[in-house]
Amino acid sequence: MSFELNNWAAALIAGVGAALAIILVPSIFNEYEVLQMMIYVILSILALSLAFIWGFGGILSFGHAVFFGLGSYSYAIAAINFGETTSAFLLAILVPSLFAAILGYFMFYGRISDVYLGAITLTVSLIFFKVANSTSGPSFRIGKAPLGGFNGIPSVPRLTVPGFSDWELGTIELFSLSVVLLALTYIGLRFLISSDFGRIVISVKENEKRSELLGYDVRRYKLLTFIIGAAIAGVAGCLYANWGSYTDPTVFALSQSVQVIIWVVVGGVGTLIGPIIGCFLIQWVTNYLTTIEILNKDVILGGILALMVLLLPQGLIPTIRLLGQRATCRETRHEEKTV
């Protein structure tokens, strides 16, 4: 019961926080600054997708950016061809989900070990990156949408209000939508994890053999977890294509996959709020240091990851929780001695 109360409390806090962000951010910051904050929100949704499949499902995907990229490219191509962005948004979720279902089926039902699973996902991401870069020229197009090779797909139509095809979302509206989707993703995952399905997923992660002996089809639960994570990454990819009205092969890049892993590691594997904080923190630090040209972005990310693994191997949120528990224990002992 307490866990449900905690979930409802978290949902309330997330809802209030989202409402405050939607109200206050556009009134305090100019449109350019809101646009910069929007990318933090979008990437936080991507961080949550890996946080779920890795932290709770025990599936470490080294090429998680492939689902982010598929969502981005699927939306861009569909929006340009259909001229109807609601269908494009749904396709941005469906395509990564279907690809995850196909790839996951062969990996999980083929009993691929964790090491090879990471290598396969990484290889697939690199293949997509290479293929997307090799599609330059007028002959490479899907319907009306030119793939553009390393130049990417420009002039991607932004989402419109359903039923009003001419009512395109502006920067403020798109920021508000991104914040709402982040809050809904966070709340949804919390309730999913505390459900029977979530408990089984965690059980499979903790002891796969025991879960199998208890009668659970661990391969099916892993596959479903993988698909859910891919669908969430597809949402982030769709929003990314809307953010800049543009997408390019860098969405499939190795550096993109590495960044997601770093956000989760810094925030804390096995938490949901941690990866969001990790994403905001790391993105702000790397962007700030890049603007003053102190170090290369990849060097910064590598250094942060190394320091976090050495100094705070559990991540920020688990470490803060541990310190809080220790402080509570000290207070309790002190009170007992006083009595």
Based on the fold, state whether residues 223 and 278 are members of the same structural domain. Answer: no
Based on the fold, state whether residues 236 and 276 are members of the same structural domain. Answer: no
Q: What would the two tokens of residue 207 be?
A: 């002891």
pLDDT at res. 329: 73
Based on the fold, state whether residues 61 and 155 are members of the same structural domain. Answer: yes
Based on the fold, state whether residues 219 and 104 are members of the same structural domain. Answer: yes
Based on the fold, state whether residues 147 and 21 are members of the same structural domain. Answer: yes
Based on the fold, state whether residues 242 and 281 are members of the same structural domain. Answer: no
Based on the fold, state whether residues 121 and 136 are members of the same structural domain. Answer: yes
Q: How far apart are CA 34 and CA 174, in angstroms?
A: 10
**Domain end call among 252, 280, 298:** 252
Looking up tokens 């003053």 gives: 292
**Domain end call among 208, 235, 252:** 252
For the chain, give the percent of residues with pLDDT over 90. Answer: 71
Based on the fold, state whether residues 167 and 273 are members of the same structural domain. Answer: no
Residue span of the structural domain in which 320 resides: 258-339
**Domain end call among 201, 221, 252:** 252
Per-residue burial over 218-227, b if 16 or more Cβ lie within 10 Å, else e, is bbebbbbbbb
Based on the fold, state whether residues 329 and 216 are members of the same structural domain. Answer: no
Domain count for the chain, please give it.
Answer: 2
Q: How far apart are CA 43 and CA 170, in angstroms?
A: 19
Looking up tokens 């990866």 gives: 275
Torsion of CA 183, 184, 185, 187, to 10 degrees: 80
Contact 47, 278 (CB under 8 A): yes
Q: How far apart are CA 294 and CA 190, in angstroms?
A: 39
Nearest to 46 by CA among 157, 160, 197, 178: 178
Based on the fold, state whether residues 118 and 266 are members of the same structural domain. Answer: no
Based on the fold, state whether residues 96 and 12 are members of the same structural domain. Answer: yes
Residue 146 β-bridge partners: 141
Question: Which pLDDT band holds residue 335 (cuts at 50, 70, 90)?
Answer: low
Q: How far apart are CA 318 and CA 275, in angstroms?
A: 11
Look at residue 217 and give its three-state secondary structure: coil
Based on the fold, state whether residues 101 and 181 are members of the same structural domain. Answer: yes
User: What does the pLDDT average to over 135-141?
Assistant: 88
Per-residue burial over 116-149, b if 16 or more Cβ lie within 10 Å, else e, is ebbebbbebbbebbeebbebeeeeebeeebbbbb
Q: Could you read off the pLDDT of 253-288 as tens digits, one per residue?
A: 988 998 999 999 999 999 999 999 999 999 888 887
pTM exceeds 0.85:
yes
